[in-house]
């Protein structure tokens, strides 16, 4: 199974993020855009995991002892790639988010998982291989989410399946946060 651990958002917050995606799509010359039901913030990508290891992932998640917290959405940015940019939506700096992600990373490493060793850059992917029309101002997209706060009340284990036309995500387990 191809797995990742993520923060999912309420429908209200997702709707605001999806409005950014729709506006971006309207102003793109090319790109593959995230579907409404796929909007999330990845905490840890696990990749291919045997069925028998899911219990260890759940235990690593259950060992998290954190209070619920808020994230404030910030601005649209991009990672430049040869084949087209990956556009993302950032969040304002959050000690709670960074501490949660570090604890999860540590728990998973201690459980024997091989993880990416790059710095955690919290972001919500909006689209891949995107080329926007010349002159389009992404600042206008950032304005659509200015001041939007997302309440983070749980951490989710997600399965990713390749299906005709894209990817399907399935929730496997949720670890509630205190509060």
Instruction: List, by residue number, the catalytic residues.
Output: 40, 123
- Report the alpha-carbon angle 63-51-38, nearest 5: 75
Alpha helices in the chain, H assignment, sequence order: 11-26, 54-62, 95-110, 139-143
Helix (H, G, I), strand (E, B) or coil at 110: helix
Cβ neighbours for 164, distance < 8 A, ≥ 6 positions apart:
none
Closest CA to 90 of 71, 110, 67, 74: 74
Task: Give the number of other CB atoms < 10 A from CB of residue 47.
Answer: 13
- For 23, the 3-state DSSP assignment is helix
Q: Which residue has the tokens 């990742």?
A: 4
């Amino acid at each position: 199974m191809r797995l990742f651990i993520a923060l999912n958002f309420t429908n209200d917050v997702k709707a605001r993020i999806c409005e950014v995606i729709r506006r971006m799509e309207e102003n793109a010359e090319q790109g593959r855009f995230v579907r409404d039901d796929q909007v999330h913030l990845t905490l840890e990508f696990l990749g291919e995991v045997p069925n028998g290891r899911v219990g260890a992932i759940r235990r690593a998640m259950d060992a998290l002892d954190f209070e619920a917290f808020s994230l404030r959405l910030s601005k649209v940015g991009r990672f430049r790639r040869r084949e087209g940019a990956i556009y993302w939506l950032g969040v304002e700096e959050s000690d709670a988010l960074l501490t949660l992600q570090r604890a999860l990373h540590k728990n998973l490493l201690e459980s024997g998982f091989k993880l990416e060793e790059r710095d955690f850059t919290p972001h919500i992917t909006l689209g891949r291989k995107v080329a926007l029309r010349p002159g389009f101002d992404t600042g206008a997209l950032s304005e659509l989410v200015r001041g939007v706060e997302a309440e983070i009340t749980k951490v989710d284990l997600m399965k990713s399946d390749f299906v005709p036309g894209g990817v399907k995500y399935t929730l496997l387990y949720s670890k509630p946060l205190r509060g």
